[in-house]
Amino acid sequence: MKRDADVARVKFALRLIEMNLAGLDGEEWNQFLREVRNFLRGKAPAEEPREVHDVDFLYWKEKEGSPGLLAKEVSRGLLAEVQGIVRYTLTSVAAENWLIDYGRRPSWGAGSTTVPDEVSVSANLNSSTKKVDAFLMKVEIEKGSVVCDLLPGDLRSYLLHSTLKEAFLFGLQRSLGRVDVSYLRRCPAGPECSRLFFAEDSRQEFCSPRCASRERNRRIRAVAEQKVMKRKVEKWQKGKDGDGVPELPLLVPATGPFKRPGKSRRAPAKPREALKLSSLP
């Protein structure tokens, strides 16, 4: 069963990897930092803060006329590092889901040739049963303390006195462990789209209705082209079995719209004038 808060946190991580951090300024930047803070504290990004414990490097300080400022600045460079390793992590999980569904790893893999030391994701496909018997995500933590919020409600745990990257990975690992990660997928409507997304239900195959419509139209065209090819082959077979010379079928490309051959528009060649004997020397 999916948990709404953890699903919201996974979707926030998906939004983070597509975000242009350099383009955020003013209130947008402050709102983004609020969401990061809630994520690190084990909450849904849009949840209202409740001051009990706090992450040391994101200590929230209230001021008059301001919804909240960071006492210690979190630079865009630090968040860019988090963005990169979160992208690697989520892509790795989607690739292992592909292994579970199709029995092989996809060609796009984790989308990176550099394997980070902080996190590893792996699934093991049993060769005899053809089923996955292990699906693990490991986060390396050099320092820090795990804090659990034991007030009524879901248990929330997060890292204290740690680095921003480790704390974010810890929070992401916790949320991925509480949802059905088979819903984390990569859109197959390539090459136009290859976005990572979290499906709303098990039947959702594409990230958006636009991608679903584009792929559906592509499949309809492919079926129509195959039917045209089949009719031409049948016509060729009938001509071959008869007395006449069979007409070779028109080869239809595997992809792209089918165009019926039209008549040539080239103007007919003019007949050459007869050579007159009087013109000879």
Distance CA 267, CA 175 (A): 71
What does each of the 281 residues of the chain score in pLDDT, given as a tens digit? 457 889 999 999 999 999 999 898 888 988 898 888 888 877 788 776 555 444 544 444 444 444 444 445 678 888 999 999 999 999 999 988 887 777 777 877 655 556 788 888 888 878 787 777 788 888 888 877 887 777 766 667 777 767 888 889 998 998 998 899 989 999 988 777 889 999 998 889 899 999 998 888 888 988 888 888 888 888 887 776 555 555 555 554 544 444 444 444 555 555 555 545 454 45
The CA dihedral of 231, 234, 240, 245, to the nearest 10 degrees, is -10
| Domain contains 54 | yes
For residue 97, give the H/E element and its range. Answer: helix 76-102
| Domain contains 279 | no
| Domain contains 154 | yes
Range(s) of the domain holding residue 105: 4-180
Cβ atoms of 130 and 103 within 8 Å: the answer is yes
Give me the pLDDT at residue 66, please: 44
Q: Is the pTM of this model over 0.85?
A: no
| Domain contains 223 | no
| Domain contains 20 | yes
| Domain contains 42 | yes
Distance CA 167, CA 79 (A): 12
| Domain contains 119 | yes
Give me the pLDDT at residue 10, please: 94
For residue 189, give the H/E element and its range. Answer: none
Q: Could you give the count of Cα atoms lying within 13 Å of 73 in the half-sphere of its Cβ?
A: 4
Structurally, the chain folds into a number of domains equal to 1
Instruction: Please state the φ and ψ torsions of residue 140, each to the nearest 5 degrees.
Output: -85, 125
| Domain contains 77 | yes
